[in-house]
Amino acid sequence: MKLTLTWFVFFPFAVHAFGVKLDSSSSYSYLVSASARRSRNSNNKSTSPPSSSSSLQGGNQNNNTAGADPTTNTAIIDDIRGGGANRSFNAILGCWDEYNKALDAKPLLTKSLTSLVGWALGDLLAQLFLSRGPFDLKRLLVLSTFGFIYYGPSGHYFYNFLDSRITGKTGGVVFLKIAIDQLLWSPLFLVVFFSYLGCTNGNSWSVIGETIRRDLFSACKASW
């Protein structure tokens, strides 16, 4: 759930970098132009043509105000403000729809990018609000890379395999999948994670092994 929510913000930039085109109809400029068209159409329908005499009398005034329609401008502003909540919700739905299209078109890449964003944002928030020390750029890059090269791809294959072997949506099936995830997949993931961190820190395999023996069980309990 966390990855899905944070992806709404970062997804458009990430998919553009990898060639997945988003629909431009959700852009702000489109909303303004569409609102302006609706307002002009409404004014054209509700306003009757002026008589020749009134046109002659108000010719100078019309010339002075040509190109400036305060009624239309006010309608545009009110339309944008009044429908802002609906448009924001529709924009979220549009991003969700584009995300699902990307999942269908490029599932592995999309999940890897989702994992990258989730790990990067999680570490960024942890450093800003929990660690409260000097910002560690190397740590951010190391964890983001791990999310992209391992967590996203491995999760893609593992959960697809699990769903293909254990079908159904009953309580027993759900419980079995959770048990396999927590008792089998989680320890394996943590072993890979500790090994990856040790390698990036330049630790020897003996040090990495000792870290795994010391911290694996407590890390598994924390994930439970």
119 burial (CB, 10 Å; 0-12 / 13-18 / 19+) is buried
pLDDT at 86: 79
Joined together, the tokens standing for residue 37 give 């068209």
pLDDT at 15: 35
What's the first-to-final CA gap in the chain, in angstroms? 17
Residue-wise pLDDT tens digits, 179-219: 999 999 999 999 999 999 999 999 999 999 999 999 999 99
Q: pLDDT: is 63 or 24 the higher one?
A: 63
Joined together, the tokens standing for residue 152 give 């996203």
Q: Confidence band (pLDDT; 50, 70, 90) for 85?
A: low
Do 110 and 101 meet the contact criterion of CB atoms below 8 Å apart?
no
Q: pLDDT: is 34 or 127 the higher one?
A: 127
Question: Which range (55-64, 73-82, 109-118, 154-163) has the least confidence?
Answer: 55-64
pTM of the full structure: 0.60
Q: Residue 182: which residues within 8 A CB-CB, separation 6 or more?
A: 220, 223, 224
pLDDT at 133: 87
pLDDT at 137: 96
Q: What is the mean pLDDT of residues 151-155?
A: 97
**79-91 b/e (C-beta count within 10 Å ≥ 16 → b):** beeeeeeebeeee
Q: What is the mean pLDDT of residues 87-91?
A: 84
pLDDT at 224: 81
When the pLDDT of each residue in the chain is averaged and rounded to a whole number, the result is: 76
Q: What is the mean pLDDT of residues 40-47?
A: 49
